[in-house]
Amino acid sequence: MKARDDKTGSQESNGKNEGVSRREFLKIAAITSALTFISISRDDLMKLLVPVKLEDLLMQNYGGEESSDPLEERAKEKEAELKEWCNNEAQRICRETGEESAACTEARKRCNMIKVKSTPANKGVLFAMALDVNKCIGCRRCAYACVMENNQARNLGIEWIKVLEMPRDREEIEKLDILKANMYYKEAPKPDKVYVPVACMHCENPPCVMVCPVRATWKEPDGIVIIDYDRCIGCRYCITACPYGARHFNWAKPYVPPTEINPNMHILGNVIRQPHVVEKCTWCIQRTRDGGIPACVEVCPVGARSFGDLNDEESPIRRIFEEYGAFVLKPEAGTRPKFFYFFGPRRTPPRKSSLIREGGG
């Protein structure tokens, strides 16, 4: 009983002196910390601390307002790095095939041509792409051109563009689950099939950007959703968040032969990636920001793709909207894609056509 009273008295005493005890505790903690640091000299601390510049802090402000100067510096560093790697690979090729071989000559030429740019978004531009479902013949030339243009690894089987084969009949389309579409067809086009290419939709509200824990991906002012491969930690949250399966993780070190390198690169686009990062379509940022068009648009043999500035009333993309309207995949996701589908005036191939292409192109 006495022990209980003592305990109660102790509790009452602690309750009365709670403020004093807390202050005393903080004072002791502060003194202890100070004593700890007193034993460490400034020179020893400087071995652990690294000075930082204001410019380094400002460049972390991602989200489309990053200064082009830090990117330009990084682009130069990446260019030097890639040239060194490429020249080493070219040297190996030349030893194996001979200095006078076509492979040696081509490898050295492409290595010397490597240029990594940091072209910023053009003010007032909002890019969009549209695809005429009635024209697409499923040849996959868009996917192949994308691989070559964007320095996609030849050893990993990654393609940023997937072409889905679906039944053309309206009743069958209504029953179709897009996840059950055929991506591995071997003959095209077929009169009873429709082909729907899918890639990054460059959404107005990209969920991939929202979930990235290190802000390695963001939407640029011109609508292009990009990835900073040097910041990506490979957590793959963005892959999970993307409703369109447009992002791809490279599980091994990507390899592009020096004889096939596209030397026209952008630091936020088609630079050769390091392993264990996520990559995706960038609407050929190395082309479009210099006034060109994406490789998939350029190579399409039937003109099924259109690309342009939504803010330009004279652009082909605006005329398509006005004449045919536009449709998007998975509107219920609320992503507001900038990649649209439409149904043009002619169908390719005709209903009774017997045109067949082996191997998709």
Q: Does residue 149 share a domain with residue 80?
A: no
pLDDT tens per residue, range 285-344: 999 999 999 999 999 999 999 999 999 989 988 898 888 888 988 888 999 999 999 888
How far is residue 159's CA from residue 154's CA, in Å, rounded to a whole number? Answer: 10
User: For residue 127, what are the CA distances in angstroms to 123, 209, 310, 325?
Assistant: 11, 18, 6, 17
Please indicate, yes or no, if residue 41 is contained in any of the structural domains: no
pLDDT tens per residue, range 250-289: 999 999 999 999 999 999 999 999 999 999 999 999 999 9
Q: Does residue 131 share a domain with residue 107?
A: no
3-class SS at 169?
coil
How far is residue 70's CA from residue 249's CA, in Å, rounded to a whole number? Answer: 26
Q: Does residue 107 share a domain with residue 227?
A: no
Q: Does residue 156 share a domain with residue 96?
A: no
Neighbours of 271 (CB within 10 A): 22
Section 335-356 average pLDDT: 72
Please indicate, yes or no, if residue 105 is contained in any of the structural domains: yes
Of residues 42 and 286, the one with the higher pLDDT is 286
Q: Does residue 143 share a domain with residue 100?
A: no
Q: Does residue 76 share a domain with residue 179?
A: no
Q: Does residue 138 share a domain with residue 85?
A: no
Q: Does residue 247 share a domain with residue 134?
A: yes
Q: Does residue 274 share a domain with residue 321?
A: yes
Q: Does residue 98 share a domain with residue 238?
A: no
Total domains in the chain come to 2
User: Which residues sit opposite 358 in a β-bridge?
Assistant: 187
pLDDT tens per residue, range 198-221: 999 999 999 999 999 999 999 999
Lowest mean pLDDT among 60-74, 76-90, 291-305: 60-74
pLDDT given at position 65: 42
Please indicate, yes or no, if residue 252 is contained in any of the structural domains: yes
Q: Where in the sequence is the domain holding 85, given as residue range(s)?
A: 67-117
Out of 117, 140, 156, pick the residue that ends a domain.
117
Q: Does residue 107 share a domain with residue 141?
A: no
pTM of full prediction above 0.95 = no
Average pLDDT, whole number, for the chain?
82
Of residues 285 and 175, the one with the higher pLDDT is 285
Exposure string (b/e) for 234-265, b if CB count within 10 Å is 16 or more?
eeebbbebbbbebbbbbeeebebebbebbbbb
Please indicate, yes or no, if residue 245 is contained in any of the structural domains: yes
pLDDT given at position 325: 87
